[in-house]
């Protein structure tokens, strides 16, 4: 772990001002997040082998269901992608395909949001999309305000029921001097105003 952090520091040339904690979290991907469950308005894709004609995208209804062309209504709310894969595979195997292989990929997590508050041009909640990074988020929010304290940005994340707070060196991230970071559903980003920092 220490070797990885050291390599990251050398690669980005950002010794002071970028904490080991930030570098550790910046290396993690969405796959490291707790298993996300599907909710209303979430969008995901199901791909079926060997029958590619069944490949399609779905939007979870307000009632928590999708309508599969072969197996009909399927309740997916509260289930992980793996659980949906397993259920669809089982039901296709029972009546339609001998050995189906089903892959589920989440495209948009509209039932979960990322909230941005403070010195950004357009603060507020936004729907999480798979692969969303800090740079993507700044772009979506219209950029940081001129008065933003760029290296005092705080990320709050719930991990296994515990609150984790991560100080983000946003200015260095935006300049490519620190690694970008992938965001997770439920993250809260606070961008303080430099004039309000004591």
pLDDT tens for 169-186 read 999 999 999 999 999 888
pLDDT tens-digit series, residues 145-163: 999 998 899 999 988 889 9
Distance (Å) of CA 96 to CA 56, 76, 90, 102, 109? 17, 20, 10, 13, 30
pLDDT at 14 over 50: no
Q: Would you tell me which CATH number, out of the four given (3.40.50.1370, 3.30.470.20, 3.10.560.10, 3.30.1700.10), belongs to the domain 2-32+119-196?
A: 3.10.560.10
How does the average pLDDT of the chain come out, rounded? 86
pTM exceeds 0.75 for this model: no
**Stretch 79-102: mean pLDDT, rounded?**
93
Strand partners, 175: none
43-108 CATH pick, 3.30.1950.10, 3.40.640.10, 1.20.1440.130, 3.90.79.10? 3.30.1950.10
pLDDT (mean) for 21-34: 81
Which among 1-10, 59-68, 119-128, 146-155 has the top mean pLDDT?
59-68
Q: Rounded distance, CA 83 to CA 169, Å? A: 37
DSSP secondary structure string for all residues of 3-49: HHHHHHHHHHT--SSS-HHHHHHHT--GGGSPPPBP-TT-EEEEEEE
Domain ranges of the chain: 2-32+119-196, 43-108
């Amino acid at each position: 772990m220490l070797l990885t952090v050291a390599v990251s520091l050398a690669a980005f040339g950002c010794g002071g001002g970028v904490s080991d904690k930030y570098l550790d979290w910046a290396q993690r991907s969405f796959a490291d997040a707790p298993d996300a469950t599907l909710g209303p308005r979430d969008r995901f894709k199901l791909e079926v082998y060997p029958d590619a004609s069944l490949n399609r995208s779905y939007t979870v209804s307000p009632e928590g269901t999708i309508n599969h062309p072969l197996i009909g209504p399927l309740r997916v709310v509260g289930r992980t992608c793996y659980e949906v894969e397993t259920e669809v595979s089982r039901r296709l195997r029972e009546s339609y395909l001998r050995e189906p292989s089903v892959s589920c990929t989440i495209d948009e997590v509209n039932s979960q949001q990322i909230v941005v508050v403070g010195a950004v041009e357009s603060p507020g909640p936004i729907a999480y999309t798979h692969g969303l990074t800090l740079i993507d988020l700044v772009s979506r929010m219209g950029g940081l305000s001129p008065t933003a304290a760029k290296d005092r940005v705080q990320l709050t994340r719930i991990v296994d029921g515990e609150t984790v707070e991560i100080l983000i060196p946003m200015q260095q991230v935006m300049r490519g001097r620190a690694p970008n970071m992938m965001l997770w559903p439920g993250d809260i980003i606070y961008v303080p105003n430099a004039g309000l920092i004591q």
